[in-house]
Amino acid sequence: MPAADTRQPNHDFAEAKSLAERSFELLIAHRIAPTPQHYAVAYAYASGANAELRATIDQRLRAGRGLDAFLFGELHERFVAIDPYRNLRGVGGNLQQLVESLAHSVGEAGAGAAEFGRALEAGLGHLDDLDADSGAQAIEQVVVRLVDATRSAAQQNDKLQQQLQSTLAETEALRGELEQQRQAALHDPLTGLLNRRALDAQLDELMAVESDAPLSVLMVDIDHFKRINDTYGHALGDAVIRNVADVIRKCIRGADRAVRYGGEEFLVLLPHTGEEGAAQVAENIRSRIHSLRLVRKRDNFMLEPFTASLGVATRLSEDTRETLLQRADVALYASKGGGRNRVTVGGRTVP
């Protein structure tokens, strides 16, 4: 996705004050802590500075779904943060230093090779000048010069080889660091599942490749999660999210992809899976979540059982990414409206 223009428009005091009040009202209405990151998202929404950010929030509100800190964190990273890849740029700077160092070493080696060539040419010239009357000392001087030039060239080559080995090792270390940064940018830190940025790339690829192959999407939402947070606190709420993520991970195959889609929402991509197979996976996830019994280790406190609702959509020939996700979302909310703890497949509730 191209980088968004993160510059805020200029406002006079009265207009900025009004936008600030509306920003805080939005945060307070949805019980989102007014941290600088959350406030920046709310202000960008109120000002209309970023159309895609505003559309994302408006779509969620129209669907009757609340806003939360997790969503605002993702929106800040996607649309507001001006330097989300500072670490990657630091790695790039290190790589630039490696390239410059290697170029310098290669330059020195080239200069050494040229010097050796000149010494060899001069030595051979002196040999041509020698005749039968030349003394042994003159011949020895020519040989000594050639030996010295050869030794100097060998030392320069050894130095270059060491530099190349060192550069290769550092390059491998940087490659590993870059891969770690890339993985961190695509995964949710709480659950280890893919995040929404990764979802965009994964789903676009699945929609474009093998367009005739079946593709299904599951949406999973923990029922009454706000009540869990309010009753037990956010630490146990995070434990619930991690355990639900583990259930989802254990119910899918290697080619499937699980995503943390929202605070307590998950999305599962099931390539090469039709409606019937997707419904079976969804029911397996639902029943396993329903069977979870979580115990806090420090005091053996057992949480009350909790459930999840699921929606299933299978790609139609006319589907875009947006319409496929929308149909899964509609199915999910049919499960919510039908009493929760159930699976709805394309408008049909699975008993």
Positions marked active-site: 264
Nearest CA-CA partner of 95 in 157, 168, 163, 161: 168
- CA–CA dist 281, 350 (Å, integer): 12
Element (H, E) at 179: helix 136-186
Q: What letter does residue 194 receive in the DSSP assignment?
A: B
Residue linked to tokens 């943390």: 260
- CA–CA dist 62, 172 (Å, integer): 49
Radius of gyration of the chain (CA): 32
What is the strand order of the sheet 265-271 is part of? 257-260, 265-271, 215-222, 308-314, 343-345, 348-350
Nearest CA-CA partner of 218 in 198, 248, 254: 248
Bridge partners (DSSP) listed for residue 343: 310, 350
- Token pair of 344 as six digits: 């709805």
